[in-house]
Amino acid sequence: MDTKEIFSAVGNFGFPMVLSWYLLLRMEQRLDKLTSCLNELSRAIISKHREL
């Protein structure tokens, strides 16, 4: 999304709505990464537990 599209969206929908949408998209990406890391950590803990 380029600057022109962002300004157009702000004009059409209002600043609070556009800001909320942007923050939700960023949060979704971070939550996906966090979920992936937690799954990897869980697998590592299980494999270490089996070695004992």
pLDDT for 1 equals 67
pLDDT of residue 47: 94
pLDDT in tens, 1-52: 678 888 888 788 888 888 898 899 999 999 999 999 999 999 999 999 998 7
Domain ranges of the chain: 3-51
Provide the pLDDT for residue 42.
97
Q: Is the pTM above the cut of 0.85?
A: no
Q: Which residue has the tokens 């998209």?
A: 25
Question: Beta-carbon neighbour count of residue 18 at 10 Å?
Answer: 17
Listed residue (16, 20, 15, 22) closest to 7, CA to CA? 15
Question: In Å, how far are 4, 9, 12, 32 from 35, measured between CA atoms?
Answer: 34, 31, 34, 5
pLDDT of residue 41: 97
